[in-house]
């Protein structure tokens, strides 16, 4: 009786070794999850780079309005200027995560990132101490826009600059205002 069970068990194992049905499903189980994760990481990286380009383009368009004196002549506030930048953003970007800082400078060499952003962080220094001074004709102005991007793909924290899963997308412009007519 014991010998019969052993023969049947050996036959089953030999048949199992030769059987190839389901091999594709087993192989996909090994490579499927890493492949899908890699696709998500590639998609998010592309989306993040596209978002940074859109923020940069919106900043350039809004900064042009400062340079030509339209913002100053219309008496725009910081909130109005932020809405102007937001109007140029893609619909998937939230204006709540956008921070705008506009400053006049004495020389181009004096332009530096505000504290907190130099470290790759959006801190209270940016959100609470940001300025809005679009300047007068022929003054040097720096426009900086920061967007707080939340990473959604698990495990790609190497892309995060800020604690956790956040990255700061930045855009800026530095220029001398044109000799526009004042108010």
Closest to 152 (Cα-Cα) out of 135, 170, 165: 165
* Predicted confidence (pLDDT) at residue 61 exceeds the cutoff of 90: yes
CA 131, CA 116: separation in Å to the nearest integer? 15
Q: Where are the domains of the chain?
A: 46-176
Rg (CA), the chain: 28
Percent of the chain, pLDDT > 70?
A: 77
157 CB contacts (<8 Å, ≥6 apart)? 151, 165
pLDDT, tens digit, 9 for 90 and up, residues 29-40: 889 989 999 999
* Predicted confidence (pLDDT) at residue 15 exceeds the cutoff of 80: no
Number of H helices, E strands in the chain: 5, 3
Task: Confirm whether pTM is higher than 0.95.
Answer: no
Closest to 137 (Cα-Cα) out of 162, 110, 104: 104
Closest to 172 (Cα-Cα) out of 136, 130, 123, 128: 130
């Amino acid at each position: 009786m014991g010998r019969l069970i052993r023969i049947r068990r050996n036959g089953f194992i030999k048949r199992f070794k030769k059987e190839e049905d389901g091999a594709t499903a087993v192989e996909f189980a090994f490579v499927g999850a890493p492949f899908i994760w890699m696709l998500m990481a590639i998609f998010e990286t592309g989306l993040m780079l596209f978002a940074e380009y859109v923020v940069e383009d919106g900043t350039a368009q809004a900064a042009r309005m400062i340079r030509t004196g339209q913002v100053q002549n219309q008496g725009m506030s910081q909130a109005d200027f932020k809405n102007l930048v937001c109007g140029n953003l893609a619909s998937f970007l939230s204006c709540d995560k956008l921070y705008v800082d506009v400053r006049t400078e004495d020389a181009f060499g004096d332009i530096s990132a505000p504290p907190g952003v130099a470290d790759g962080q959006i801190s209270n220094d940016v959100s609470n101490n940001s300025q809005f001074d679009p300047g007068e004709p022929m003054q040097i102005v720096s426009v900086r826009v920061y967007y707080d991007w939340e990473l959604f793909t698990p495990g790609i924290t190497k892309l995060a600059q800020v604690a956790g899963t956040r990255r700061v997308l930045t855009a800026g412009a530095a220029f001398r205002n044109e000799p526009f007519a004042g108010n």
